[in-house]
């Protein structure tokens, strides 16, 4: 079930679309879009707020606050209902077709009564668009192609898939003579969990050789647009990639601009306007004289606007501008801060590599400590037994300290922690009795089945796991699989409160198809005072490197080193892992 805030955000996004389709004031459209975003990202539940409380939310004034109150009182908003009565849902759906926006959708509806994608396709085949102003043969062709793309997914891809493509393109274009700099920007640089288009930026005196090399890449299936400054292609896998080539002198302003987000850019440009400046991808200019002030580095651009450099992962207009203006940006966690991985598997259960290989690979990464957490017996396909687990523990103790240790103190080798990934059953119980659990250095506990429990039962289930004195980390807390399975329905705020109360950390699972918790939930959990563990959940040696995506996600949740237990020195970590347990000497 969606949070109340998400429901309202969706409603106002719809209202904004309907206003633009009916030819309403473009500034009103933007106001509702901004309000939708602010509400979606607001920490408090909007269903509990009155008109006055709602107006505390940025971009929410009296009119919008009253609509929110109306929505929770009556279940609908009359202004939205009025536009819905005029514009069938299918017309709004038309704007999902690439190259078809609200104006064209409106003309199609008004002139031809078209109110679905199917009707539009039929109308084109019957040549009924021929007499419409603004619709030529090329437009018809583009719409048909757009419908095809829409129907054959045209979906966003996972972060790692986009990163692979971007890394390759950047490497190729960097080799072109005259290409002075090249990098990826956009949502990829911001580490968003999914990527719609890959944005690549290059600096060169002459753009044509770089553009040429770009369009000649072997996996280009289609050239969408091709100009002197911008070229867009689609790859054979259907991913679209934009390349912008700018003069080397504009690098900083261009990188700032093409990194986005759009909302962040609007805010920075507004700051510029208020200072009688103009910010574009070519630089920061004096608005009156047109004279260029700065453009070479992002730092210069931000500084001239009165801001410190803002890390890309924060550039979502979620308060980073205000925090920057007040000197209150967080010192974000970085990948180099991670001292160890606390959730990993071996071939004792469903991992691919033996213990020794995983440990050796972890040591290569320079970790000071590393936890092995294979599944317990309750995931019975894993065939775990007490004996097998205890035998693994003996081997872990033998290997402890004998690998790596670059980041270990005093030149000592990497410390190994023996743990388990427990299964949280439908009642919130885990695999072993407390006597057995006491032998582990740490326990991750995760939901692996019964995803469809109703909200109250699911919440109670996870809260009970938090209350277990031997559960240190809740693994992949919502169990979502991006694009495939939604997160469980649970009262996350109640779970966050339980984590804070019991000293249980929440995992930020770094696997690119999970990224669980997600950024917005991290922001909320952080307000409860929860600690986090950024883990790879590696089932193979190569997966250890996925940690970068978890760190990016943690950054998007504004986390610092102090918030993340696996950046801590080993002694502080071990103290945290003791949790509220009574007794002593059970581990170490």
Partner DNA sequence: GCCGTTTTCGGCCCGACTGTTTTCAGTCG
Which of 65, 522 has the CB closer to DNA? Answer: 65
Q: How far is the CB of 163 from DNA (least distance, A)?
A: 17
Q: How far is the CB of 560 from DNA (least distance, A)?
A: 28
**DSSP structural state of residue 425:** -
Q: Where are any strands of DSSP class E within 332-392?
A: 340-341, 369-375
Q: Any bridge partners for residue 198, and if so which?
A: 241
The answer to whether 530 touches 496, Cβ cutoff 8 Å, is yes
Task: Mark out the alpha helices in 152-289 (DSSP H runs).
Answer: 159-174, 186-189, 208-215, 251-259, 262-274
The answer to whether 173 touches 184, Cβ cutoff 8 Å, is no
Which of 275, 296 has the CB closer to DNA? Answer: 275
Q: How far is the CB of 131 from DNA (least distance, A)?
A: 10
Q: Which residues of 23-56 are buried (b: 16+ CB within 10 A; e: fewer)?
A: ebeeeebebbbbbbbbbbbbeeebeebeeeebee
Which of 138, 175 has the CB closer to DNA? Answer: 138
Which of 284, 458 has the CB closer to DNA? Answer: 284
How large is the greatest C-alpha to C-alpha distance in the chain, in angstroms? 84
Phi, psi of 79 (to 5 degrees): -60, -40
Reduce the DSSP state of residue 427 to 3 states and report it.
Answer: coil
The answer to whether 204 touches 326, Cβ cutoff 8 Å, is no
Task: Mark out the alpha helices in 175-293 (DSSP H runs).
Answer: 186-189, 208-215, 251-259, 262-274
The answer to whether 510 touches 546, Cβ cutoff 8 Å, is yes
Q: How far is the CB of 140 from DNA (least distance, A)?
A: 7
Which of 265, 478 has the CB closer to DNA? Answer: 265
Phi, psi of 448 (to 5 degrees): -125, -5
Q: How far is the CB of 577 from DNA (least distance, A)?
A: 44
Q: How far is the CB of 462 from DNA (least distance, A)?
A: 36
Which of 227, 354 has the CB closer to DNA? Answer: 227
Which of 29, 509 has the CB closer to DNA? Answer: 29
Angle (deg, nearest 10), helices 62-74 and 26-40? 60
Q: Any bridge partners for residue 481, and if so which?
A: 485
Which of 274, 383 has the CB closer to DNA? Answer: 274
The number of CA neighbours under 13 Å toward the Cβ of 79 is 15
Which of 41, 550 has the CB closer to DNA? Answer: 41
Q: How far is the CB of 55 from DNA (least distance, A)?
A: 7
Report how far apart, in Å, the C-alpha atoms of 165 and of each of 184, 240, 367, 484, 524 are.
10, 10, 29, 22, 32
Helix, strand, coil tally for the chain in percent (to 5)? 45, 15, 40
Which of 264, 460 has the CB closer to DNA? Answer: 264
Q: How far is the CB of 297 from DNA (least distance, A)?
A: 19
Which of 70, 281 has the CB closer to DNA? Answer: 281
Q: Which residues bind DNA (CB under 7 A)?
A: 25, 27-28, 30-32, 35, 55, 58-65, 79, 95, 97-105, 133-140, 142, 186, 196-197, 199, 225-231, 240, 242, 260, 262, 265-266, 269-270, 272-274, 276, 278-282, 287
Q: How far is the CB of 219 from DNA (least distance, A)?
A: 19
Q: How far is the CB of 275 from DNA (least distance, A)?
A: 7
**Element of type H or E holding 453:** none
Which of 139, 174 has the CB closer to DNA? Answer: 139
Q: How far is the CB of 480 from DNA (least distance, A)?
A: 25
Q: How far is the CB of 543 from DNA (least distance, A)?
A: 31
Q: Where are any strands of DSSP class E within 49-186?
A: 157-158, 179-184
The answer to whether 241 touches 172, Cβ cutoff 8 Å, is no
Q: Using DSSP bridges, classify how beta strands 197-204 and 240-246 pair: parallel, antiparallel or unpaired.
A: parallel
What does the angle CA 217 – CA 221 – CA 226 come to, to the nearest 5 degrees? Answer: 75
Which of 225, 381 has the CB closer to DNA? Answer: 225
User: Residue 260 class from Cβ within 10 Å (0-12 exposed, 13-18 middle, 19+ buried)?
Assistant: buried
What does the angle CA 101 – CA 103 – CA 105 come to, to the nearest 5 degrees? Answer: 70
Q: How far is the CB of 189 from DNA (least distance, A)?
A: 12
């Amino acid at each position: 079930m969606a949070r109340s805030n998400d429901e309202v955000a969706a409603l106002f996004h719809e209202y904004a679309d309907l206003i633009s389709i009916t030819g309403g004031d473009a500034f009103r459209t933007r106001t509702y879009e901004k309000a939708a975003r602010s509400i979606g990202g607001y920490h408090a539940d909007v269903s509990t707020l009155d008109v006055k409380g709602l107006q505390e939310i940025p971009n929410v004034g009296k009119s919008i606050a009253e609509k929110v109150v109306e929505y929770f009182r009556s279940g609908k908003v009359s202004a939205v209902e009025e536009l819905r009565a005029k514009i069938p849902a299918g017309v709004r759906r038309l704007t999902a077709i690439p190259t078809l926006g609200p104006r064209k959708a409106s003309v199609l509806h008004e002139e031809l009564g078209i109110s679905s994608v199917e009707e539009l396709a039929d109308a084109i085949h019957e040549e009924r668009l021929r007499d419409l102003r603004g619709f030529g043969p090329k437009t018809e062709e583009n719409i048909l192609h757009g419908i095809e793309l829409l129907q054959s997914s045209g979906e966003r891809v996972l972060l790692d898939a986009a990163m692979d493509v971007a890394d390759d393109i950047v490497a190729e274009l960097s080799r072109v003579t005259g290409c002075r700099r090249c990098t990826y920007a956009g949502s990829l640089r911001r580490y968003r969990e999914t990527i719609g288009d890959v944005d690549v930026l290059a600096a060169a005196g002459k753009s044509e050789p770089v553009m040429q090399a770009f369009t000649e890449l072997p996996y280009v299936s289609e050239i969408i647009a091709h100009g002197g400054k911008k070229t867009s292609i689609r790859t054979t896998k259907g991913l679209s990639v934009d390349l912008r080539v700018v003069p080397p002198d504009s690098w900083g302003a261009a990188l700032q601009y093409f990194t986005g987000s759009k909302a962040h850019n609007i805010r920075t440009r507004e700051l510029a306007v208020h200072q009688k400046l103009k910010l574009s991808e070519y630089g920061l200019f004096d608005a009156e004289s047109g004279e260029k002030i700065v453009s070479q580095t992002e730092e210069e651009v931000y500084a001239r606007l009165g801001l410190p450099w803002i890390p890309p992962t924060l550039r979502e207009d979620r308060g980073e501008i205000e925090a920057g203006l007040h000197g209150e940006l967080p010192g974000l966690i970085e990948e180099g801060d991670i001292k160890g991985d606390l959730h990993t598997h071996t071939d004792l259960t469903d991992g691919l590599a033996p213990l020794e290989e995983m440990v050796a690979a972890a040591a290569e990464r320079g970790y000071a400590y590393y936890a092995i957490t294979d599944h317990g017996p309750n995931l019975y396909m894993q065939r775990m037994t007490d004996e097998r687990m205890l035998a693994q523990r003996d081997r872990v103790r033998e290997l402890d300290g004998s690998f790596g240790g670059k980041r270990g103190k005093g030149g000592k080798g990497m410390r190994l922690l023996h743990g388990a990934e427990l299964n949280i059953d439908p009642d919130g119980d885990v695999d072993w009795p407390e006597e057995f659990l006491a032998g582990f250095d740490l326990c991750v506990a995760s939901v692996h089945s019964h995803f469809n429990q109703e909200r109250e039962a699911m919440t109670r289930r996870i809260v009970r796991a938090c209350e277990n004195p031997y559960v240190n980390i809740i693994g992949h807390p919502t169990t979502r699989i991006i694009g495939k399975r939604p997160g469980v329905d649970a009262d996350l705020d109640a779970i966050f409160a339980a984590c804070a109360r019991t000293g249980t950390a929440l995992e930020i699972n770094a696997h690119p198809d999970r990224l669980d918790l997600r950024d917005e939930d991290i922001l909320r959990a952080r307000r409860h005072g929860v600690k986090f563990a950024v883990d790879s959940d590696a089932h193979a040696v190569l997966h250890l490197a996925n940690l970068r995506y978890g760190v990016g996600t943690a950054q998007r949740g504004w986390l610092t080193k102090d918030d993340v237990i696996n950046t801590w020195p080993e002694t502080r970590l071990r103290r945290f892992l003791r949790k509220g347990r009574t007794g002593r000497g059970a581990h170490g």
